[in-house]
Amino acid sequence: MSAPDIDAVKRYLLDLQDRICDALTEADGQQTFIEDSWERPQGGGGRTRVISDGAIFEKGGVNFSHVFGGALPASATAHRPELAGRSFEAMGVSLVMHPKNPYIPTSHANVRFFIAEKEGEDPVWWFGGGFDLTPYYGNDDDCRHWHLTAKAACEPFGETIYPHYKQWCDEYFHLKHRDEPRGIGGLFFDDLNELGFEKSFALMQSIGNAYIPAYIPIIERRKDTPYGERQRDFQLHRRGRYVEFNLVYDRGTLFGLQSGGRTESILMSLPPEVRWGYDWKPEPGTEEAQLYERYLKPIDWAGA
């Protein structure tokens, strides 16, 4: 198995952040990302880029981080106890985009690399990441496009990759306390090293590169859809589910907070406005009810 090329991974991630920010800036057409470079006292740092109050994006962030240290946080060793006592190095690009228009879905993407080392032993490393879509008002064409783009990114690496990562995404982005999905899924993978470094790295790159062609066409189709207070209220209600998942279940959030990461960068994924109503339920037969009845369930969109 070829040795990991950490520098090559970092170069790719920095370039990916640049390309994604350029594409999203062009899509917004009004605002640009502001950059905030930061250092982590325990080792490492990153550059956080945030856009807000744009023509398309109410708030969004694209974060690069590269952190390292002598001991892993509990979130990293909970399901990998053999890593306890190892030094670590972690890097990745993570993003969340919250549009203004409720007919444009929120999107999330993340690609990352992790390596843990101990003197006298082989390093333990892996890739992880994926992307997923959280619509407020479902649209079959958007769902098919999102999943067909995800499938195309995986196909060069084997016919089982997409269905496996899609199922993994459906299972991971599930709010157990509400027994409902966060959105319509996409791809999720972790602990990827069985293909060897070069092929695993290539698969991670293919997935990272697929985010923009998956998301931009959806923005273009939905950005001029008219909406009112009813749609806005529902968007804020559904954003509450997004916040719940990120603060209760998300591995990246937990790892960042437990490893002494920069709180502002870790929590950039949270929307600027959100609403929780007590025991709120959509009225039967409405567009809002259709989201629950049709879209918030595992569907084979790439084969539909």
79 is annotated as contributing to ligand binding: no
Look at residues 104, 138, 55 and name the one whose alpha carbon lies nearest to residue 222: 104
Question: What values do phi and psi take at 83, rounded to 5?
Answer: -85, -10
Is residue 98 part of an annotated ligand binding site?
yes
Catalytic site includes residue 174: no
The answer to whether 66 is annotated as binding is no
Spatial CA neighbour of 77 closest among 260, 259, 263, 262: 259
**262 assigned ligand-binding residue:** yes
H helices within 155-298, ranges in order?
161-172, 197-222, 229-248, 251-258, 263-266, 287-290
Q: Is 110 annotated as a binding residue?
A: yes
Picking from 79, 21, 76, 28, the residue whose alpha carbon sits closest to that of residue 47 is 21
Among 59, 125, 51, 62, residue whose Cα is nearest residue 92:
62
In 3D space, the residue among 225, 268, 289, 251 whose CA is nearest the CA of residue 90 turns out to be 251
Residue 52 labeled ligand binder:
no
Task: Return the closest-CA partner of residue 269 out of 162, 182, 151, 166.
Answer: 182
Instruction: Give the separation between CA 124 and CA 52, rounded to whole angstroms.
Output: 38
The answer to whether 145 is a known ligand-binding residue is no
274/135 Cα distance (integer angstroms): 15
Catalytic residue among 108, 145, 174, 237: 108
Query: Catalytic site residues?
Result: 108
Annotated binding site: 94, 98, 108, 110-112, 147, 177, 260-262
| Residues annotated in a binding site for substrate | 94, 110-112, 260-262
Q: Return binding residues for a divalent metal cation.
A: 98, 108, 147, 177
